[in-house]
Amino acid sequence: MKPINDTQVSEFLLLRFSEAAELQLLILGLFLIMYLITVFGNLLIILAVSSDSHLHTPMYFFLSNLSFADICFSSTTVPKMLLNLQTHSKAITYEGCITQVYFFLLFLGLDVYLLTVMSYDLFVAICHPLHYMVIMNPRLCGLLVLVIWIISVLYSLIQSLMLLRLSFCTNVEIPHFFCELNQVIKMACSDTFLNNLMIYFGSILLGGGCLFGILYSYSKIVSSIRRIPSAQGKYKAFSTCASHLSAVSLFYCTILGVYLSSAAPQSSRSSAIASVMYTVVTPMLNPFIYSLRNKDIKEALRTFILKKTTKR
């Protein structure tokens, strides 16, 4: 098929999970409920942390930023998918697709970097407890979040600008429920060597670097916990990082599942379904992971809700 300039491509077509009409309403309702839980749950975390002065610590500062990133991360893909299901459409405009790629990479990067910074925060808290407040001072915490934003913005901007140089064929159907970068590049009719090179570079340097940082932090944490003499002390130290370890495991395992499913033959639909785990399910579960085992968060939420109900 003859390629045309990418500015002439007016829209892409996104894959549906099922073409069966009777399943569309079920899928719409399911994803709407998951999205509302994601927004409501993460918003509660942000409000609880901001309203309780006892939670104005580095750990909860990073957690509130993670909750904000999770809300935006889900909002990048789910509302458009819900709209398409409601209107029985598959279309997304060319401009909308590039914009979705940009914000998806931006908030995905924020999630990865925040989880890495939170592992460093736990490392300092457990391995250097006496110097914790000196090392993790407000200036450093603010600087870390600022650097995270700058790196995420620059990386997503570079990837999005590199998409603009590609030419696409007519009747482009993306085998995904959102404009996933790899799938969009596969639809191009022009040379994609530089785009693929940039993806590999980003995955290894940024994604791999963050994973190495998390693993290194936890290797030091485990070594410190093993040196604690009492079983109660070991349990307390482990419970401190249990929520973060659960979130990291869920996030990286689901992403690994996506890449494994995409490597299999005839994997378009299975890859799209696997992507639901880290784009929708993981942001939805994070508030539960960080609140169910955390007495401070539960107490702050209880106080916040009581204040709002008594005012009425």
**In-domain check, residue 59:** yes
Average pLDDT of the chain? Answer: 86
What average pLDDT score do residues 193-208 get? 88
The domain containing residue 14 runs over which residues? 6-311
**In-domain check, residue 208:** yes
Which CATH number goes with the domain that contains 95? 1.20.1070.10
Tell me what percent of the residues of the chain surpass a pLDDT of 70: 89
SS3 143: helix
Name the residue type at position 305.
I
**In-domain check, residue 252:** yes
* Pairs from 78-86 (Cβ < 8 Å, separation ≥ 24): 78/31, 78/34, 78/35, 78/38, 78/279, 78/280, 79/35, 80/178, 81/14, 81/31, 81/177, 81/178, 82/28, 82/31, 82/32, 82/35, 84/14, 84/16, 85/16, 85/24, 85/27, 85/28, 85/31, 86/28
- Please give the order of strands across the beta sheet that includes 91-93: 91-93, 11-14, 173-174
**In-domain check, residue 266:** yes
What average pLDDT score do residues 299-307 get? 78
Name the residue type at position 52.
D
CA distance 148 to 171: 37
* Predicted confidence (pLDDT) per residue in 18-49, tens digit: 666 677 888 899 999 999 999 999 999 999 89
**In-domain check, residue 1:** no
Q: How many domains does the chain have?
A: 1
**In-domain check, residue 214:** yes
Q: Higher-confidence residue: 207 or 72?
A: 72
The answer to whether residue 259 scores a pLDDT higher than 80 is no
What average pLDDT score do residues 258-282 get? 70
* Predicted confidence (pLDDT) per residue in 80-138, tens digit: 999 988 888 889 999 999 999 999 999 999 999 999 999 999 999 999 999 999 999 99
